[in-house]
Amino acid sequence: MIIHPIASSPTPRWFHRHPIRLAVAVSALVAALATLASAPALADARKETLLVVIESGPNSLDIHGVGTNRPAYGTSWNVYDRLMTYGVKKLANGTEMYDYKTLKPELATKWEIAKDGKSVTFHLRRDAKFHDGTPVTAADVKWSFDRAVTVGGFPTFQMKAGSLEKPEQFVVVDPYTLRIDFLRADKLTLPDLAVPVAAIYNSTLAKKHATPDDPWAMAWLKNNEAGGGAYQVASWRPGSEMVYTRFEGWKSGPKPKLKRVVVREVPSSASQQALIERGDVDVAFDLSPKTVVDLKGKPRVKLIGTPIENAMWYVGMNVTKPPFNNVKVRQAVAYVLPYQKIFDAAVYGQGIPLYGGAKNTDWPRPTPYKTDLAKAKKLMAEAGFEKGFATTLSFDQGLSFIGEPVALLTQEALAQIGITTTINKIPGANWRAALLKKDMPLMVNTFGGWLNYPEYFFYWTYHGQNAVFNSMSYQNPKLDKLVDAARFETNPAKYKKDVEGFIKLAYDEVPRVPLFQPLVSVAMQPNVVGYRYWFHRQLDLRSLAKR
């Protein structure tokens, strides 16, 4: 079953693999999985066990940690609870995804907005426990939120996106009641409590491992979990494997069908394909577009692909690194990129183009840029760089199946206007930390905003006031003002004007060049059911089952 369109393209040279090496790698992995499957606990309950392969896994168990990568969002989602979660909706093609317009109880049984609109009160489940049996209380919720708004970096900025900024906002009313005082009216406050960062930690356990130099137990929680979610971490070998087991005491939702989930890292797309085709694994997640094309029509494989909301792949230029501080240089890059070649070679036509000026009023929307070598050369000359310059082009090796072909084609195109690039492949486990340093002059990257609003995307990626993922170090007070206004605007006409304003500024000054809106694709055995697409682009193990 193919849910998204598949385009055929010739295999680029960077996707070719040595057949002997591939056979050895696949054989070794199959042997390892067979060993796992022969263990008594798995053999006795094969229907309640799921084997998953992914390209790159988590680098931390703590979503509040510095440099925590995207795969770790999935760990947090399954191991920790939040006060609330999103509803689920069925799409026209029969698949399911989250519904960002609907909020439902999770750890909280209910909530009430104060009559004056200045606070919200949450009532917690009285039977909820953490994995070690400790009861979950409002004090744990407060400690968790205090931590999120205090540690800095991504978690603090994420909470701030919903106007959750100060520990004083989180008030313990009684052991099972917590009040959150609003700083301002913000439509994102409640939705922001349903994202992975708003995880509830076992504060009693965490405090045992805190020190004067590490009051939030950051070091311990990087390698240990203190959750109360549907699954607990049974074992973790970074760079290799994560094993989850069902928490039998979970009360915040329907009991998951799967008792055990083994997630193995398989960096080779070809190996992933071989494993899913042969039935050696149940799920291959976040597949490369080439793998999806190759799996099309296979009788024993079920494929689902979903466009990632509020997301794009792009080529970014750090405006603090000359000569990318020159807008004409950035525009020259935007005009020389081979958009269609990139779209065909990197994602095999799977996705939504974001170039060429297509008339689309949604977000993400196409830029007016299209490949025009003459215009690119003219802009380089006007900028004073007719002879070009040398720079470094970086990408995340953990997403090499898309990042590498984009980088190679970008390198080839830039050479036409005199820009010589050295490609820098950064390991997936290190990419987030490298990104946050904001010192890469040129990069290929992807970003997706959890909350499906254009101003949320721009708040994270273009806002000049220390936006965490403003990796281009772009600053424009006029754009900041429009983004801030849109965040809190209630008048539809004014809101639309603000949105149009900041999109135009971003595309005119082009610190990042949008390429395409991607899909997240998953291959499953026919007996695997319950897959749901989520905004964090990770597997929700709680809904999965095997017939």
Read off the DSSP letter of residue 262: E
* All domains in the chain, ordered by first residue: 13-76+229-307+520-546 (3.40.190.10), 98-212 (3.90.76.10), 311-517 (3.10.105.10)
**CA 74 to chain CA mean position, Å:** 9
Read off the DSSP letter of residue 137: -
Buried b (16+ CB within 10 A) or exposed e, 11-42: ebeebeeeeeeeeebbeebbeebeebeeeeeb
Compute the distance between CA of residue 500 and CA of residue 510 in angstroms, rounded to an integer.
Answer: 15
Two tokens at 66?
């510095």
Compute the distance between CA of residue 401 and CA of residue 326 in angstroms, rounded to an integer.
Answer: 31
**Of the candidates 286, 243, 240, which has an alpha carbon nearest to the alpha carbon of residue 266?**
240
pLDDT tens-digit profile of 83-104? Answer: 999 999 998 888 899 998 999 9
Q: Can you give the pLDDT at residue 465? A: 77
Q: What is the DSSP string of 496-524?
A: HHHHHHHHHHHHHH-SEEEEEE-EEEEEE
Compute the distance between CA of residue 31 and CA of residue 33 in angstroms, rounded to an integer.
Answer: 5
Tens digit of pLDDT at every position of the chain (547 positions): 333 333 333 333 333 444 444 444 445 555 555 555 555 554 556 889 999 999 999 999 999 998 899 999 999 999 999 999 999 999 888 889 999 899 999 999 999 999 999 999 999 999 999 999 999 999 999 999 999 999 998 999 999 999 999 999 999 999 999 999 999 999 999 999 999 999 999 999 999 999 999 999 999 999 999 999 999 999 999 999 999 999 999 999 999 999 999 999 999 989 999 999 999 999 999 999 999 999 998 888 999 999 999 999 999 999 999 999 999 999 999 999 999 999 999 999 999 999 998 666 789 999 999 999 999 999 999 999 999 999 999 999 988 989 999 999 999 999 999 999 999 999 998 998 999 899 999 999 999 999 999 999 999 999 997 678 999 999 999 999 999 999 999 999 999 999 999 999 999 999 999 999 999 999 999 999 999 999 999 999 999 999 9
Contacts by 206-209, CB closer than 8 A, 24 or more apart: 206/143, 207/143
Read off the DSSP letter of residue 397: G
Q: Do residues 543 and 532 lie in contact, with contact meaning Cβ atoms separated by under 8 Å?
A: yes
pLDDT tens-digit profile of 222-257? Answer: 999 999 999 999 999 999 999 999 999 999 999 999
Compute the distance between CA of residue 252 and CA of residue 196 in angstroms, rounded to an integer.
Answer: 15
Which region holds residue 136: left if phi is over 0, alpha if psi is between -120 and 50, else beta? beta
**Of the candidates 338, 378, 333, 330, which has an alpha carbon nearest to the alpha carbon of residue 356?**
338
